Amino acid sequence: MTHYINEQMSGDGQFEPVRFNEFGSIQDALLSDNLQATFILAPLAMNLRERGAPIRIVYLGHRDGTAMMVHKDSDVHTIRDLKGKTIAFPAKFSNQYLILFKALHERGMSMKDVKETFLPPPEMPTVLRQRNGVDAVISGEPIMARTQMDGYGRVLFLTNEVWPEFISCVLAVREDAIENRREEVQALVDGIARSGMWLDSDRDTTLVHRKQAAVFVDQNYYKYDDPKLLEFALTTPPDRVKYTNLTVQRPNFLEIEKYARMAGIFQGKVTFEDYTDSSFVQKGRPLKAWEWEGRK
């Protein structure tokens, strides 16, 4: 998806990709209008809108894409076994906090049954490997896949096992950009949709596209992860992260609202109509998957 944006940068390109390492900086840039559109965690986007931020969710980034990991030698084998254990989250407003909240609630437990700590996701693998005061870590991919691929992490659960089709990140766009740069926002949404269609088109068969994407990401613009790690996260299993079914759908967000209110990170001062804009996906409007098949 990021490659699609970069492809638009030749000549008078419409988009300038900017990489951030944590969501606090994204939030600040978005509110100060130094950033007009961003991928951001769904609960955080909803909370920002509730606090008056001039943003709308127009599309999704991907579904699922989170794992909870324990050490391979841990005595934790079920979610119930987490009682009394210390769990590291990226932040209280993260998807991961909400996912575990729901998983515990459905088993008659609560966050009071575990010990919470908050860590930047890049630090989680080291802490888990060393078993340094943390019993489990939960974050987005490919960071969790690293612990598994390197042999010391064991999957306790993937997102789709506790919250199928969970919305991981969303595309949030400033309202002034929606009003004044609508064609560009539409092109961005279409590019994300077409890229996702390409990535998922062989998800249940050869996985060639996912393997190509992993190599491309490392060899071209984004040399920050081992391509073997990216391939592992995209293929083990193939539905660990999904890039289709990305339209803004009310039932999905109402479910997030429900658990976010219970967890105290959303008060319900704004509604689905307030924090979303689904007008960039029109029914019956055909889109074809991106036809890029890798570079020779």
> Of 170, 168, 147, 150, which is closest to residue 159 (Cα–Cα)?
168
What pLDDT is recorded for position 294? 45
| Residues lower than pLDDT 50 in the chain | 8-11, 294-296
Instruction: Give the residue carrying structure tokens 């693998």.
Output: 125
Whole-Å CA distances, 182 to 26, 36, 45, 174, 280:
22, 12, 20, 11, 9
Residues 266 and 79 sit within 8 Å (Cβ to Cβ): no
Neighbours of 112 (CB within 10 A): 8
What ranges make up the beta strands (E) of the chain?
A: 37-41, 55-64, 66-71, 86-89, 115-118, 136-140, 153-158, 167-174, 241-242
Contacts of 52 (CB under 8 A, 6+ apart): none
**pLDDT value of position 136:** 98
- For residues 259, 263, 269, 272, the Cα torsion angle rounded to the nearest 10 degrees is -20
What's the pLDDT at 9?
47
C-alpha distances in Å from residue 28, one per residue of 22, 34, 38, 60, 269: 11, 8, 12, 21, 22
Name residues whose C-beta falls within 8 Å of residue 132's C-beta, 6 or more positions apart in sequence. 126
Tokens 């592992």 sit on residue:
232
Residue owning tokens 């969970």: 166
Question: CB-based burial of residue 187 (10 Å sphere; 0-12 exposed, 13-18 middle, 19+ buried)?
Answer: middle
pLDDT on residue 224: 52
Beta strand 167-174 pairing with 55-64: antiparallel
